[in-house]
Structures are given as structure tokens and as C-alpha cells.
């Protein structure tokens, strides 16, 4: 039997046919899926605080496609300009309006619980908070700790908070670059507090430190530094060490640990910031001390704002970004030259066979590269 109209279902005779699909609606749905926003739409959306468009723009930032990168750079440029003019228009003495806070600590120390507690405290005070993460391992282990959907349940539905898991790029440098750019977009979208979280197990703390104004190290009482996998260098970078889980039977131990860390911090030479790093306790679960942690951040902001360190540090970070971007660009260009990769493969073979001097080979190859530019 010839069907009277197109149907989604294969219906049997004698049964009423279901309604026809609305062809127009279907067309719109398909078109909508494919609709790529223009740079202007995305930029305007970000400035208007539209979170969907902000997310889309971040996806462009995170993409490795050259066309996306091109658009991302235009958006970043516009966002930087907008944030700058907003500050200038306010004619404020404070040059930088947002505050960027790095949060680190070993898995299980309570980072997400802490971020949820402090985050709720901040949004209740009228702040807009963006939570970003740096986890270079997330590309490999799909079930990344920082990408876990069940974390920060309340913040995740808070209209004044925006949570973005770590970009799934391979190298730490790559992940860091994308996170730095994401910070710029979030600030242009009106987020005035930015948390950058990382798992305290290695190199990524240094990277986070290089993009924030305040670096917070979460610790546990009763476990040695070695046990917590925290290196001396990380402790030295901290603006505050906060011992979490100061609740129940643990409060006494947390207090003792605070004194120990305070003593340890005093052994370091005074930092250029004019701020003396502090040790404190909190309970992300009970809320004890959470507001005090924020007071510390604000105190640090005031001191470093007044003495000019806050601004200087950001400018220094920008200079670093400038250099790193050049380095990354040069590397990318070099390694993507067809003839270079071919010659490299041959030379590497020779090196592996002990026939080629690696220094000489590297110099020759670089010379060839520069000659042909
Ligand atoms: P993360 O891996 O550092 O993000 O740690 P989580 O926030 O996931 O916390 C790890 C475990 O510690 C969870 O079971 C939390 O409920 C618990 N936890 C976090 N903060 C506290 C706290 O202040 N007190 C207590 N007693 N438990 C906490």
C-alpha cells in the first residue's frame, strides 16, 4: 500500500498513522546544529555575559584547527580590548579588576569541596566565579579527576558560577595556553573571580602559579609533606597554605599542623610581593574558616595592589606569555616543514646507529631551515 505521507514509524495497516514530521522544523533543527557563530556573534555574546556563547568560544580556543585558532585569536583580541576599556572608563586606580586564584593540593585533600564552599560564599556576596582546571593527564585518562561531573554539584547549577573542566590537550604547555586564553574570555564575560585548579602532583602547579595572582595550597594535617607529594618548591610558591578537614577529631591536629607550616614558611626569604605567606585551617565540609580564607585573599590584593606588585606580576606574566607564544610558534613551524621532518628522520636514524654527531646534525639542520626561509 502506498503511504499517504512520510512517517517516522513503520505502521501496520488498520492502525492510525502518526502525525507527519514537520519538515520545516526538521530543517531548522538540522541547520541549527550546523550553524557556526561568527566571531562578532561570539564576541558580542561574551560581552553580554551569554554563557552558551562563552562556552562555544572556549571550544574554539581549545580546538587545534587553524581556522578555529584564527577565530579564537580575534575573539581574544576583542575581549582584551573590552576588558581594558572597561577598566579605563571606570577611571579606577585599581588597574586589574578581576582576581585569579590558583588552588592546588593532592587528590583527596578536598579541592572540589573547598571550591564549592568558597564559591558559594563568593556568589552569595555578589561575585561571579569561573572555575577552570589544568590537568594535563586528562587526555590520557578519560575519567579525569578534574572533569568529573559529580563534583561541585551546587556550584554547577549556580547562575553566577561557570565551571569548565580541563582542556584535553596533550602537553602541559598546550593546556596552559588554552587556560590562559579562557581566563581572558571569562573576564570579558564579567567573571570577576577566577579559580584555576590543578592536582598537586607535579609540574602543573608551577604552570598555574604563572597565571594567577594568588596561589593557595591545600594540605591535610597529620601527613608529612613527602606523603602528600608536595615538594618544597611548591610550598615556597604558596601565598597561603590552608589545612583542610579541620573538623571533628581532626581540629586539634589541624591546629598543630598550622603552627608547623607557619614556622616552615618563616624560613623562606621574604617574597617580593610584600605579602608574608600565611598558614591557616578550614573545613570545606563544615564551612569553618572559609570566609577567612577569602579575607586573606583580599588582604593580599590590597597590599600587592598598593605596592604595585599585583600589576607588575601580571605584566611579567604577559611577558612570559609573549615569549612562550613565540617559542611555540617557532617550534610548530619548524616541525611542520615536510622536508625538515624527512631529513630529521634520516638524521635520527644515523644518530641511533652511532654514525651521526647529534650536535653537528642539529646545527646543520637549523642552518638549512634558516637558509631556506
Ligand atoms: P579533591 O580530590 O581534592 O577534589 O577532594 P574532594 O573535594 O573530592 O574530597 C575528597 C573527600 O574528602 C570527599 O569524600 C570529601 O567529602 C572529603 N572532604 C572534603 N573536604 C572535607 C572537610 O573539610 N572535612 C572532611 N571531614 N571531609 C572533607
Q: How many Å apart are CA 212 and CA 208, to the nearest integer?
A: 7
Rounded distance between C-alpha atoms, residue 110 and residue 223, angstroms: 14
CA 110–ligand 1 middle distance (angstroms): 4
CA pair distance 121, 119, nearest whole angstrom: 5
- Same domain flag for 66 and 195: no
Q: Which of 28-37, 150-159, 176-185, 253-262 has the lowest mean pLDDT?
A: 28-37
What's the rounded Cα separation, in Å, for the pair 176 and 198? Answer: 11
pLDDT at 293: 97
In a domain, 15, yes or no: no
- What are the residues whose beta carbons fall under 8 Å from the beta carbon of 74, sequence distance 6 or more? 39, 43
Alpha carbon distance, N-terminus to C-terminus of the chain: 71
Give, using CA atoms, the residue closest to atom 19 of ligand 1. Answer: 110
What is the CATH classification number for the domain harbouring 81?
1.20.5.170
Minimal-distance CA residue to ligand 1 atom 15: 110
In a domain, 28, yes or no: no
**SS3 state of residue 71:** helix
Instruction: Select from 104, 110, 135 the residue to mutate for testing ligand 1; criterion: most ligand atoms less than 8 Å from CB.
Output: 110
Residues 265 and 303 in one domain: yes
Q: What does the alpha-carbon distance between residue 275 and residue 300 come to, in Å, rounded to a whole number? A: 6
The dihedrals phi and psi of 130, each to the nearest 5 degrees, come to -110, 130
93 and 79 inside one domain: no
Could you tell me the pLDDT band of residue 1, with boundaries at 50, 70 and 90? very low
- Interval between CA 191 and ligand 1 midpoint (Å): 26
Integer angstrom CA distances of residue 25 from 8, 30, 304: 14, 9, 56
Is pLDDT of 140 > 50? Answer: no
Which of these three, 85, 103, 124, is where a domain ends? 85
Are 147 and 279 contained in the same domain?
Answer: yes
**Mean pLDDT to the nearest integer, 244-249:** 95
Q: 27: CA distance to ligand 1 center in Å?
A: 48
Backbone dihedral region for residue 354 (phi beyond 0: left; psi -120 to 50: alpha; all else: beta): left
Give the binding-site residues of ligand 1, using a 6 Å CB cut-off: 105, 107-113, 145, 244-245, 247, 283-285
Residue 220 belongs to some domain of the structure: yes
Instruction: Report d(CA 219, CA 235) in Å as an integer.
Output: 10
pLDDT at 122: 97
Distances (CA, A) of 174 to 63, 75, 116, 136, 185: 11, 19, 27, 9, 17
Residue 187 lies in a domain: yes
98 and 39 assigned to the same domain: no
Local structure of residue 8 (DSSP, 8 states): S
SS3 247: coil
Whether 71 and 178 share a structural domain: no
Q: Does the reported pTM lie above 0.85? A: no
Q: Is residue 239 part of a domain?
A: yes
CB 309 within 8 A of CB 274: yes
Domain region containing 106: 88-317
- pLDDT tens-place string over residues 167-196: 775 678 778 889 999 999 999 999 999 999
Q: Are residues 203 and 312 in the same domain?
A: yes
DSSP-assigned letters across all residues of 277-298: PEEEE--TTT-TTHHHHHHHHH
Distance of CA 345 to the CA centre of its chain: 35
pLDDT tens, residue by residue, 308-336: 999 999 999 999 999 988 998 899 899 98
Expressed in angstroms and rounded, the spacing between residue 109 Cα and the centre of ligand 1 is 6
* 163 in any annotated domain: yes
Residues 198 and 341 in one domain: no
Residue 180 lies in a domain: yes
Tell me the per-residue pLDDT of 5-39, one tens digit each, with 9 for 90 and over: 555 555 555 555 555 566 666 666 665 555 688 99
Backbone torsions φ then ψ of 128, nearest 5 degrees: -115, 125
Structural domain tally of the chain?
3
Angle made by CA atoms 115, 243, 111, in degrees to the nearest 5: 25
Give domain status of residue 8, yes or no.
Answer: no
Whether residues 42 and 177 share a domain: the answer is no
- Inter-residue contact 243 to 254 (CB < 8 Å): yes
- Kindly report the protein residue whose alpha carbon is nearest to atom 24 of ligand 1: 245
Q: Which three cell numbers stand for residue 294?
A: 577569602
The more confidently predicted of residues 85 and 29 is 85
Instruction: Indicate if 115 and 188 belong to the same structural domain.
Output: yes
3-state secondary structure of 131: strand
Pair (268, 167) in one structural domain: yes
* 268 and 351 co-located in one domain: no
Amino acid at each position: 500500500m502506498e503511504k499517504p505521507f512520510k512517517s517516522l514509524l513503520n505502521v501496520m495497516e488498520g492502525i492510525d498513522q502518526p502525525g507527519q514530521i514537520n519538515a520545516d522544523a526538521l530543517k531548522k533543527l538540522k541547520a541549527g546544529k550546523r550553524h557556526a557563530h561568527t566571531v562578532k556573534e561570539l564576541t558580542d555574546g561574551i560581552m553580554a555575559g551569554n554563557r552558551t556563547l562563552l562556552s562555544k568560544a572556549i571550544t574554539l580556543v581549545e580546538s587545534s584547527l587553524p581556522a578555529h585558532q584564527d577565530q579564537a585569536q580575534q575573539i581574544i583580541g576583542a575581549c582584551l580590548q573590552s576588558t581594558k576599556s572597561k577598566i579605563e572608563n571606570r577611571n579606577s586606580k585599581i588597574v586589574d579588576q578581576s582576581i585569579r586564584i590558583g588552588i592546588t593540593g593532592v587528590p583527596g585533600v578536598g579541592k572540589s569541596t573547598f571550591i564549592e564552599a568558597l564559591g558559594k560564599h563568593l556568589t552569595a556576596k555578589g561575585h561571579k566565579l569561573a572555575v577552570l582546571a589544568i590537568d594535563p593527564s586528562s587526555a590520557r585518562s578519560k575519567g579525569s579527576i578534574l572533569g568529573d561531573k559529580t563534583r561541585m554539584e551546587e556550584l554547577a547549577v549556580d547562575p553566577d558560577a561557570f565551571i569548565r573542566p580541563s582542556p584535553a590537550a596533550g602537553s602541559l604547555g598546550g593546556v596552559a595556553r588554552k587556560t590562559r586564553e579562557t581566563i581572558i574570555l571569562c573576564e570579558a564575560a564579567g567573571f570577576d573571580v577566577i579559580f584555576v585548579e590543578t592536582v598537586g602532583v607535579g609540574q602543573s602547579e608551577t604552570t598555574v602559579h604563572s597565571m594567577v595572582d594568588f596561589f593557595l595550597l591545600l594540605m591535610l594535617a597529620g601527613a608529612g609533606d613527602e606523603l602528600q607529594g608536595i615538594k618544597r618548591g611548591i610550598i615556597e610558591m604558596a601565598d597561603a597554605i590552608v589545612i583542610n578537614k579541620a573538623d571533628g577529631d581532626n581540629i586539634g591536629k589541624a591546629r598543630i599542623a598550622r603552627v608547623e607550616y607557619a614556622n616552615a614558611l618563616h624560613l623562606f626569604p621574604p617574597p617580593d610581593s610584600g605579602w608574608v605567606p600565611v598558614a591557616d585551617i578550614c573545613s570545606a565540609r563544615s564551612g569553618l574558616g572559609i570566609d577567612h580564607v577569602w579575607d586573606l585573599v583580599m588582604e593580599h590584593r590590597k597590599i600587592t595592589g598598593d605596592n604595585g606588585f599585583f600589576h607588575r606580576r601580571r605584566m611579567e606574566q604577559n611577558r612570559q606569555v609573549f615569549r612562550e607564544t613565540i617559542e611555540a610558534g617557532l617550534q610548530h613551524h619548524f616541525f611542520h616543514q615536510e622536508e625538515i621532518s624527512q631529513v630529521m628522520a634520516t638524521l635520527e636514524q644515523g644518530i641511533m646507529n652511532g654514525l651521526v654527531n647529534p650536535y653537528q646534525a642539529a646545527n646543520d639542520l637549523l642552518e638549512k631551515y634558516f637558509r631556506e626561509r
